[in-house]
Amino acid sequence: MPAKTKRSGVKLQLDSLTPQVYKQMAKKHEPSRPVFKNCIRAFLSGGLICLIGQAVQQVFMANFDMTPREAASPTVAVLILISVILTCFGVYDKLAQWCGAGTAVPVTGFANSMCSAALEHRAEGIVLGMAANMFKLAGSVIVFGVVAAFIIGIVYIFLGHGGGHL
């Protein structure tokens, strides 16, 4: 290697830097999550999805002579279908980057988590790939949903008397 320049004096040894000091230093350069902006976006987009759901429900009620309770199931099915179609066309994940919790919390987020995992693992086979991995992300929602329902059920047994029926 030709033309050596003068030896540079190394002052700081990284070995002497502690993780705590480093994390503080690094934090200055890390942009934080825009929590307020994310909340506003989630509120607007989540609200919009619910508004669409409400509109679909009204259509079912007006055209098929359904009660609000009867119209609930087909409404959810329509939202799931829309979510799955958007996931398959590769649109849902792009919407989610803007919407955040707005697309994750409603039923559409659940459908997306199942559909995306099924699509992704289809290559590993129908049984061990798609079927086994379908609940990879959604499974935790089911587990905690069941646990929460169980706890609420127990609370209802003790406190729910006189509280009317569901």
Partner 1 sequence: MKQLGKQTWQFTSRPAILGASSVVGPEEGDGPLAADFDFVYDTLKMNENTWEKAERRMFEKAVRLALMKAEIKQEELEFFVGGDLMNQIISASFAAKKLGTPYLGVFGACSTSMESLAVASMIVDSGGAKYALAGTASHNCTVEKQFRYPTEYGSQRPPTAQYTVTGSGCAVITRNDGTQSGPFVTAATIGKVMDFDIKDPFNMGSAMAPAAADTIMAHFRDTGLSPGYYDLIATGDLASVGLPITQELLAKAGIPMEQTEFTDCGLMIYDRERQKFVIAGGSGCGCSATVTYGHILKRMKKGQLKRVLVVATGALLSPLSYQQGDSIPCIAHAVALESGGEQA
Residue placing its CB nearer to partner 1 in the complex, 53 or 106: 106
- DSSP code per residue over 33-90: P-HHHHHHHHHHHHHHHHHHHHHHHHHHHHHH---HHHHHHHHHHHHHHHHHHHHHTT
Residue placing its CB nearer to partner 1 in the complex, 75 or 112: 112
Give the residue, chosen from 3, 127, 157, 159, that forms a contact with partner 1 under the rule CB under 8 A.
Answer: 3
Stretch that binds partner 1, among 15-23, 47-55, 74-82, 152-160 (CB under 8 A): 15-23
Residues 22-81 within binding reach of partner 1 (CB under 8 A): 22-23, 25-26, 29-34, 38
Q: How far is the CB of 165 from partner 1 (least distance, A)?
A: 36
Gap between the Cα atoms of 122 and 133, Å rounded? 9
User: Count of residues binding partner 1 (CB under 8 A)?
Assistant: 53
How many CB atoms within 10 Å of residue 144?
A: 10
Contact by Cβ (8 Å): 50, 40: no
Gap between the Cα atoms of 137 and 118, Å rounded? 10
Residue placing its CB nearer to partner 1 in the complex, 33 or 165: 33
Q: Is 113 in the site for partner 1 (CB under 8 A)?
A: yes
Q: How far is the CB of 19 from partner 1 (least distance, A)?
A: 4
Q: How far is the CB of 75 from partner 1 (least distance, A)?
A: 21
Give the residue, chosen from 52, 82, 101, 130, that forms a contact with partner 1 under the rule CB under 8 A.
Answer: 101
Longest Cα–Cα distance in the chain? 91
* Ramachandran category for residue 88: left, alpha or beta (phi over 0 → left; psi -120 to 50 → alpha): alpha
